[in-house]
A and B are shown apart, each in its own frame.
Chain A
Amino acid sequence: QSALTQPRSVSGSPGQSVTISCTGTSSDVGGYNYVSWYQQHPGKAPKLMIYDVSKRPSGVPDRFSGSKSGNTASLTISGLQAEDEADYYCCSYAGSPLFGGGTKLTVL
C-alpha cells in the first residue's frame, strides 16, 4: 500500500479558510467512510480532529470540517487562527490503516 497523497504545505492568513486534500484510491479513501484527520504540533502527539470523514470529536472547534468526494477527502479549516499552524495527517481505513504523508499548515 502506498501512502495517501497530501500537499506538502498550505498557508493562509488569519481569518481565512484553507483546505487540505488527501487523495487515495477506490480501495481506501473511496471505498470506506473511515477517513480521519490528525493535528500535530511540533514535539507533540497527534490529536484527532475529524473521524468518519466529517464527524468532530467533542472539544474540536466547528471551524474544522471534513468531506469526501470520490477518492479524495478534504479537511477545511475556516477562520484560521495562529494556533492552527501545525502538521495535518489524513488516515484511511482500507482493511488496515493508511496515513497520508502530512501537510504543513502555515498561518501567515
Chain B
Amino acid sequence: QVQLQESGPGLVKPSQTLSLTCTVSGGSISSGSYYWSWIRQPAGKGLEWIGRIYTSGSTNYNPSLKSRVTISVDTSKNQFSLKLSSVTAADTAVYYCARGGGRPFDPWGQGTLVTVSS
C-alpha cells in the first residue's frame, strides 16, 4: 500500500524559507487521479491545510498562506515538495504530507516537526 514520508530540516531561521519533501512509496505518484497535499499542526492545536498539487502540476493553496507557499512535484523521484517563505515562529508546527486534496486525505505521512528559531 502507498506510504508517505516527510523529510527536511527540523530547524529554520526566521525570515528564511522552509523546504520539505514528501517521498511516496508503494505506488507511483502519477497513477490514479490524486491530489497530493501538505497539512500542518502547531503543538497542541488543530490541523491546517496548506495546499495541494495534482500530478499535472496544477496547484491550489490555502488563501491565508498563498503568498508564501509553493508546492511542486517531481514524478521521476516520486516526490512532491513544499516551500514556505518568510517564516516566523507562528510557522512552527508538525508538517504532514497526505494523498488527496480533501476528499479525503488518506494516507498520511508520519509528520515532521519544523521549528522556526534563530
Instruction: Kindly provide the distance from the CB of B6 to the nearest chain A CB, expressed in whole angstroms.
Output: 10
A48/B48 in contact, CB under 8 A: no
User: CA of A51 to CA of B106 in the docked complex: distance in angstroms?
Assistant: 10
Q: Which of B48, B49, B101, B108 contacts A45 (CB 8 A)?
A: B108
Name the one of A3, A46, A57 contacting B96, with C-beta atoms under 8 angstroms. A46
Bound-complex Cα distance A93 to B106 (A): 14
Is B77 interfacial (CB-CB < 8 Å)? no
B102–A34 CB distance below 8 A: yes
The answer to whether B106 touches A101, judged by C-beta atoms less than 8 angstroms apart, is: no
CA distance A97 to B47 in the complex (A): 11
Considering residues B37, B106, B111, which has the most beta carbons from chain A within 10 angstroms of its beta carbon? B106
CB of A48 within 8 A of CB of B104, answer yes
Q: A51-B104, A97-B101, A99-B48 are in contact. Are A1 and B63 (CB under 8 A)?
A: yes
Give CA–CA (A100, B47) in the complex, Å: 8
- State A57–B104 Cα separation when bound (angstroms): 11
Nearest CB of chain A from residue B33's CB, rounded to whole Å: 15
Q: A97-B102, A99-B46 are in contact. List 9 more A-B contacts (CB 8 A).
A: A36-B103, A45-B111, A46-B108, A52-B103, A89-B47, A91-B102, A96-B102, A97-B37, A99-B49
20 A-B residue pairs with Cβ-Cβ distance under 8 Å, sorted by A, are: A34-B102, A36-B104, A38-B105, A45-B108, A46-B108, A47-B108, A48-B105, A52-B103, A89-B46, A93-B102, A96-B62, A96-B63, A96-B102, A97-B102, A97-B105, A98-B49, A99-B46, A99-B47, A101-B46, A102-B47
